[in-house]
Amino acid sequence: MAMDSTMQLEEPVAGTGEHPWWRSAVIYQIYPRSFQDTNGDGIGDLPGITERMGYLASLGVAGIWISPFFKSPMNDFGYDVADYCDVDPIFGTLADFDRLLEAAHARGLKVIIDQVFAHTSDEHAWFAESRESRDNPKADWYVWKDAKPDGTPPTNWQAVFGGAAWTWDARRQQYYMHNFLPSQPQLNVHNPAVQQALLDSARFWLDRGVDGFRLDAINFSMHDPEFRDNPAWDPAGRTITRPFDLQHHVYNQSHPDIVKFLERVRELTDSYGAVFTVAEIGGPDPLAEMRAYTMDGARLNSAYSFDFLYAPEFTPERVRKAQGNWMGPISEGWPSWAFSNHDAPRCVSRWYHGPDRAKFAKLTNAVLLSLRGNPILYQGEELGLSQVNVGFKDLQDPEAIANWPRTLGRDGARTPMAWSRGNSYAGFSETRPWLPLGEDHADVSVAEQEGDPDSVLNFTRRFLHLREDSSALRWGDVSFPDAPGNLLVISRTYGGERVVCVFNLGAEPVVLPEGIEPGKHVLIASGWGAGPSGRTVPAYSVLVTRD
């Protein structure tokens, strides 16, 4: 199998009705607090993203997803929105966002932003009005309920971050619901007026030119109007860190009417053209909701679950099972995939504990980019950044603080991006950042990797450009030839193109069995020494070929 670095692949037909720009697009997630600080306060900002737009374009991704930058008290770092239509001053201004959008579009990058439709901050003007009385115009915009006769909360529902999902409010003499922090009151999305207000806020950003939305925790957006108690869930065999884990969440989330609201969201976004909508679907068995929220072209474009985000091991079985749920026609729904994000420990630290993290990072990035669907690459994943062990005194995440030391929390994945060795803070800021940097992150920064053709960064760039140029990797059918042990083989076909991806997810070499024949032309490889030869697949290696 000789290396062929010059071959030309079929030209895809992007942007057509069959393949709108977003289908198979690779999206790069930016956590704005930790991307680039330009004003010296130790917190990343929108001008920082604009400043790094050339770098983002050089990666070869189709677009960026920016986590919340809306006005917020930051109790949950932007996922507690106080104003859906304004930028929080720590991130900049609306004019800064407009400049960011213009810079992205000038480089051919799409911009996707979060929409938090399940709850707001308790500092939102809607909630301030709602809590004043039981008969004001927004009295029914949040989920309010009388106490039980003994004064206890209306249901047994538990909050994700610990404790009851209800907080008493003396003004209304009622409890209000919150699936997350008490400062994140639950919107009553059953109310048509609330739905319209949320759609109007989305229209505000569409009118500015955004190209899509990631819908945060959308399966939490509607509750059971009968307020029935959740059934208990046997804790046997599971790690329990919070009361939330002791219930089946059948009544505080996942109401079947959510799909009707999503049809309204789709109607709005379709009126603006090829806008990408992707849902975050949490829970132990999300597949049914993912299909319901994306099927038939009348709801959202895509959805992703936590198939990989909290997985303790990276195995061929897990990849085959997750991808195996999405191998049918496009009408059944279109998946998105993430191995790491701002809520989950970085995958290279969860799945690998050996001395060559760079080799393993190339492997995980290659598998992610070989899947059928939309890969979502989290900032720093292209560098192989590791999870940072943040000490208790430096913790910012309310979940980590509440559950310490029983949970890793989210701070270790949210630490600042590593740009260079330029100062003590790896080029992220001129002052102490809001979270500490990883001890070795400056050593694997962008500047350190740029000039090394064998770096994780440049390998990932090559794979991104390979995927962009391959119809099979972008849209092709997917199959999994039988392979032993830690060997994962993915076959992608589209028209006359066949791409075979061979991965060894284990620490020992594996012999490629008879019947699996890679293509004649090697498109990209990692971990093969001088070049692929024979049928022995080295540990943690990548081989992608084409007929």
φ, ψ of residue 96 to 5 degrees: the values are: -65, -40
Q: Which of 80, 88, 216, 448 is catalytic?
A: 216
pLDDT of residue 238: 86
pLDDT of residue 27: 98
State whether residue 103 is helix, strand or coil: helix
Do the Cβ atoms of 359 and 525 come closer than 8 Å?
Answer: no
Characterize the bridge pairing of strands 497-504 and 487-494.
antiparallel
Q: Are residues 411 and 529 in the same domain?
A: no
Q: Which amino acid is at 185?
A: P
Closest CA to 115 of 163, 166, 68: 68
Total domain count, the chain: 3
Q: Are residues 244 and 202 in the same domain?
A: no
Closest CA to 336 of 500, 112, 56, 524: 112
Final residue in a domain of this structure, among 407, 437, 465: 465
Question: Contacts from 18-22 at CB under 8 Å and sequence distance 24+?
Answer: 19/474, 19/475, 20/274, 21/62, 21/110, 21/274, 21/276, 22/62, 22/110, 22/212, 22/274, 22/276, 22/301, 22/302, 22/374
Does residue 518 lie within any of the structural domains? yes
- DSSP state letter for 112: E
Q: Are residues 206 and 326 in the same domain?
A: yes
Whether 216 is catalytic: yes
Q: For the chain, how big is the Rg over CA atoms in Å?
A: 23
Q: Which amino acid is at 4?
A: D
Q: Are residues 248 and 178 in the same domain?
A: yes
Q: Are residues 232 and 340 in the same domain?
A: no
Whether 343 is catalytic: no
Does residue 471 lie within any of the structural domains? no
Rounded to whole angstroms, the Cα distance separating 405 from 392 reads: 9
Final residue in a domain of this structure, among 446, 465, 484: 465
pLDDT of residue 241: 81
Rounded to whole angstroms, the Cα distance separating 302 from 277 reads: 6
- CB-count exposure of residue 5 (10 Å: 0-12, 13-18, 19+): exposed
Does residue 195 lie within any of the structural domains? yes
> What is the DSSP annotation of 113-124?
EEE--SB--TTS
Rounded to whole angstroms, the Cα distance separating 43 from 432 reads: 9
C-beta atoms surrounding 467 within 10 Å: 24
Closest CA to 324 of 360, 284, 277, 373: 373
Do the Cβ atoms of 41 and 432 come closer than 8 Å?
Answer: no
Q: Are residues 38 and 58 in the same domain?
A: yes
Q: Are residues 400 and 530 in the same domain?
A: no
Final residue in a domain of this structure, among 465, 497, 524: 465
Rounded to whole angstroms, the Cα distance separating 337 from 60 reads: 17
Q: Which residues of the chain have pLDDT under 50?
A: 1-15
Q: Are residues 227 and 338 in the same domain?
A: no
The residue with tokens 């109310």 is 191
Which range marks the domain in which residue 321 is found?
A: 27-122+191-222+273-465
Angle at 131 between CA 130 and CA 136, to 5 degrees: 45
What CATH number corresponds to the domain at position 54?
A: 3.20.20.80
Q: Are residues 100 and 249 in the same domain?
A: no
Q: Are residues 183 and 212 in the same domain?
A: no
pLDDT of residue 137: 98
What CATH number corresponds to the domain at position 486?
A: 2.60.40.1180
Q: Which amino acid is at 410?
A: R
Q: Which of 280, 289, 381, 468 is catalytic?
A: 280
Closest CA to 345 of 387, 402, 396: 387
Closest CA to 293 of 252, 257, 338, 340: 257
What CATH number corresponds to the domain at position 136?
A: 3.90.400.10
